[in-house]
Chain A
Amino acid sequence: MSERLLEVTDLRTTFRTVTGSVPAVGGVSFDLKANETLGIVGESGSGKTVLARTIMGLQPRTNVEVTGSVLLNGHQVVGASERTMRTMWATEVAMVFQDPMTSLNPVMRIGRQIDETLRVRLGMDRRAAHDRALELLTMVGIPSAQSRYRAYPTELSGGMRQRVVIATALACSPKLLIADEPTTGLDVTIQAQILNLLDSLKQQLSMSVILITHDLGVVATRASRIIVMYAGRIVEMGDTRDIFYHHRMPYTRALLESSPKVTNTPHTRLAVIPGRPPNLSTPHPGCPFAPRCAYATERCHVEAPTLVAASAPGHRFACWNPLTETDHPEAR
């Protein structure tokens, strides 16, 4: 159970652009156990998508520098050739992207898109692949899979398309599924359906899931652990309950408090984080959140904090002036 499926150590992804180098992921370390759901939360530009693509080995070789180590089920991803990665994609790790329309080929029937993966990767024959594809479509909850098998992606609704994408990703039973904002852009009721589906598939296929999102609501009840990212770094990580109720990093708190809640009374004044996330191409020596942080001191602007352990096991945060436990009125 505690077997480590994924070990990421000091991972850095740096883009070289005309205007200089951009450290999109700046030294990230974490691990993931088998059959665990890990939530990665951050705003746009926090590096969460770049992190996911780096773990997938999807970064282009030119103008991107990746250092550190990503051990996926014992295989090193950093520096692996595309040929090596091909043997891991689909069977070891698969990804579900935000926009289902761009990850499906619009001129190919959806059944064939799944068939193809099965035949190429698992060497199935036409008959077997067809049957398995139908099985997968049924498994992801597509009604009358037999007739939808011959449909084109454009003929399906957004929710149905995302189900097809999930079916494609699961075709070769990967051990790790990375879902990058899988429900952004879907309606509330459909979002609930897809998240439930991912949950039940995870149990059924005993795989691990990394759920990447900007919405704390998505991971609150689905992830066992959460990583909060800001400006390409992990600023806090820990068990879901610790992140929500015992967070120590002011950014985590600000993120939680600035999102409106259904339980708020109308015209509740929202807590606001002033300013915007930093521009990564101009290097900052200190804590990336310092310019927006209410608790920032002199030290925060000059010296970057590293992750230190909090009282709960596995709970770590990067802050010079962490919130104390008593700062949590909602702590239960």
Chain B
Amino acid sequence: MSDLLDQSPEIEPLREQRLGPLFWICVGWLSLNVLGAIFANVLPLVNPLYQNYNAINAGPSLHHLFGTDDLGRDILSRVVFGSRVSLAVGSGAMLIGFGIGMPLGMLAAYRRGRLDTILTAVMYVLLAFPAIIAVIAVISFWTPRTLFKIIVVIGLASVPLVYRVIRSATLAVATKDYVTAAKVQGSTDRRILFRELLPNIAPIAVSFLLIGVATVVTLEGALAFLGLSVNPPTPSWGNMINESRTVMAQNPWLVIFPSLALCLFLLCLNFIGDRLRSYFDVTEVKL
């Protein structure tokens, strides 16, 4: 048997691929955002609704690092509290979108046949409907508007998109020989879905999830800008920008800080998503 041994001494080492410092800076910034949103109550911040009439439309100072708005409310505090809405909408909606879209997409791609045909047809019909208009329509009529309703509506609207991405990712994996091999060995469908398919589509799912969160946060901003998000005075990045557009000339801080927060947040999400995708891409590593 000795001639059968694969005696090759060396084995291809996995190419060390690094995520890079910029990736970690982005992760750091995002964590700061998330922590800020969670612990906003405990942080030494002024109540975002407290109106200080002694400091109206004040520029940045030691008392108010980001300045105050036309009602004398602290902008720093409002930006931090405002991130709660953005984060809640972003993660909540994606939770719904992936919770429904991902299992459906995987199942359809793995099972194929009639289930796939029907599901895909339904999803494509939904996709053909302009999502933003649908969301606006539903939210305008489904009053009173609460954060929960907004999350549900955006979440449902994202299902077909998630479904399409996950389905095509799964399709690419499901035709591989190792899936057939697992079937042939007598593995159950559940084992195949979780052991063979999920790990291979997870990287795509994660990066799409991050980019999805970014898109939803933007969408919330757009809705708020149209006055269709959470009702004032509750701050959100979107409605802060919306409210400040009339006083932009007098008090630029009012629009700069929430916009900056939104931009950086989205930039980080997109960068991390993109970086993760290429990091986990097995073929890119291999070749």
Contacts and interface: CB of A to CB of B under 8 A. Distances in A.
Q: Do A and B bind each other?
A: yes
A282 B10 contact: yes
A276 B8 contact: yes
Nearest to B9: A291
A274 interface: yes
Contact of A276 (B3, B6, B15): B6
Contact of A18 (B4, B5, B7, B15): B15
Interface in B1-32: 3-10, 12, 15
Contacts of B7: 274-275
A19 B13 CA distance: 10
Contacts of B10: 279, 282
A108 interface: no
A274 B3 contact: yes
Contacts of A276: 6, 8
A279 B7 CA distance: 14
Contacts of B6: 275-276
A275 B15 CA distance: 22
Interface in A254-304: 272, 274-276, 279, 282, 291
Contacts of A291: 9
B9 A19 contact: no
A279 B9 CA distance: 10
Nearest to A282: B10
Describe B's contact surface by its main secondary structure.
loop
Contacts of A275: 6-9
Contacts of B9: 275, 291
A19 B285 CA distance: 13
B5 A19 contact: no
A18 B285 CA distance: 12
Contact of B12 (A272, A274, A279): A279
Given A18-B15, A19-B15, A272 B8 contact: no
A282 B13 CA distance: 12
A279 B6 CA distance: 15
Nearest to A276: B8
A276 B12 CA distance: 12
Nearest to A273: B3
B125 to A, nearest CB: 31
A291 B8 CA distance: 9
A291 B12 CA distance: 17
A87 B55 CA distance: 77
A255 B204 CA distance: 43
Contacts of A19: 15
A269 to B, nearest CB: 9
A272 B15 contact: no
Given A279-B10, A282-B10, A274 B15 contact: no
B64 to A, nearest CB: 50
Interface in A1-27: 18-19
A172 B206 CA distance: 53
A272 B5 CA distance: 11
Contacts of A282: 10
A286 to B, nearest CB: 14
A275 B9 CA distance: 8
Interface in B224-252: none
A311 B90 CA distance: 79
Interface string A48-60: 0000000000000
Nearest to A274: B7
A19 B287 CA distance: 12
A175 B264 CA distance: 61
Contacts of B3: 272, 274
A276 B11 CA distance: 10
A32 B15 CA distance: 40
Contacts of A272: 3-4
Nearest to B12: A279
A276 to B, nearest CB: 4
Nearest to A18: B15
B226 to A, nearest CB: 44
Contacts of B12: 279
A90 B7 CA distance: 45
A111 to B, nearest CB: 35
Contacts of A279: 10, 12
A274 B5 CA distance: 7
Nearest to A269: B3
Interface in A221-272: 272
A43 B15 CA distance: 24
A287 to B, nearest CB: 16
Contacts of B8: 275-276
A149 B5 CA distance: 53
A18 B14 CA distance: 12
A258 to B, nearest CB: 11
A99 B3 CA distance: 34
Nearest to A278: B10
B3 to A, nearest CB: 5
Given A18-B15, A279-B12, A291-B9, 9 more contacts: A19-B15, A272-B3, A272-B4, A274-B5, A275-B8, A275-B9, A276-B6, A279-B10, A282-B10
Q: Which 8 A-B pairs have the closest CB atoms?
A: A276-B8, A275-B8, A272-B3, A275-B7, A274-B7, A279-B10, A274-B3, A19-B15
Interface of B: 3-10, 12, 15
17 contacts: A18-B15, A19-B15, A272-B3, A272-B4, A274-B3, A274-B5, A274-B7, A275-B6, A275-B7, A275-B8, A275-B9, A276-B6, A276-B8, A279-B10, A279-B12, A282-B10, A291-B9
